[in-house]
Amino acid sequence: MKLWIKDNTVAQNDKLYLYGVGESCFNCFFIAATFCYNSLESRQARRGENIYMNVLGIDIGGSGIKGAIVDVETGQLCSERLKVETPQPATPQAVIDSTCQLIRLFNWDGLIGCGFPAVIQKGLVKTTANIDQSWFDINVQKLLQRETGCSCAVINDADAAGLAEMQFGEGRGRDGTVLILTLGTGIGSALFYQSQLVPNLELGYLPLQGAPAEHYASAAVRKNEKLSWQNWSKRLNQFLNHVERLFSPELIIIGGGVSRKYEKFFPYLETQAELVPARLLNQAGIIGAACFAAGKFHD
């Protein structure tokens, strides 16, 4: 937005003309700048544009809480990615306090999008497989808004990563059935059909070898049990074959931190679907949470 400065004239047709000198000029500038912002905002609203260009994305995980400011138009991070440890036990107030600690590092008072490791329905936590039991039925969205004073939107963490990959990553422009899996402390999943999200799928809870699949084949299990890449891949193959029988995806995208080392285990994986590593790696949850919030408040 350009400012046109000319004596003895006023703003017309969204072109700002400032007049006067000294203190009166300063006051006029303040009024005109406010007019400029409101005029831009109203024009964006009329055109249906998203006025939330930058949003703070938060990804709450089992071991860490990560965040960054995201340009939701491009999917690029506008700040350094920062992290604090997830408190143990991960009770509601402890996690919210740690999340607020992270937010203060950005000196942020704008819109916040948060990915949370549970089924989320209208801001309410509906599963507690990977978090403290005391979270059940807590409205994490209202809790965050109360503690931060910021507008917030909360989404399942894997769904957030999936949204980012579909908008800016390997899923961009792909129709049909696309399955995104995030391998970390657990196994997150996001399913898209014709670019539409099927929310809260949580395929990591599927039974496999007498236990939830994520207790048998997650990236954390490989580390904890000191499995070789090949032996872990055998377990992962069992899970992949199971979900392929259920959903017949055309594309499977593997995300999470372990996707940085995809060359170590992809050669051992066997799928009917095309299999690719996530482009956004473990930034996807941050980016997707920010984009979800921008879309929700824009709507």
pTM of structure: 0.81
Q: How many CB atoms lie within 10 A of CB 2?
A: 6
Q: How many CB atoms lie within 10 A of CB 34?
A: 10
Q: Which range among 27-31, 87-91, 266-270, 283-287 shows the weakest confidence by mean pLDDT?
A: 27-31
Q: Residue 229: which residues within 8 A CB-CB, separation 6 or more? A: 222, 264, 265, 268
Cis peptide leading into 89, omega within 30 of 0? yes
Res. 17: pLDDT tops 50 = no
Q: Residue 81: which residues within 8 A CB-CB, separation 6 or more? A: 66, 67, 68, 283, 286
- The pLDDT-based confidence of 145 (bands split at 50, 70, 90) is very high
How many whole angstroms separate alpha carbon 178 and alpha carbon 181?
10
pLDDT single digits (tens) 157-206: 999 999 999 999 999 999 899 999 999 989 999 999 999 999 999 999 99
Q: Is 216 helix (H, G, I), strand (E, B) or coil?
A: helix
Stretch 248-261: mean pLDDT: 95
pLDDT single digits (tens) 21-73: 344 443 443 333 333 333 333 333 333 444 568 999 999 988 899 999 999 99
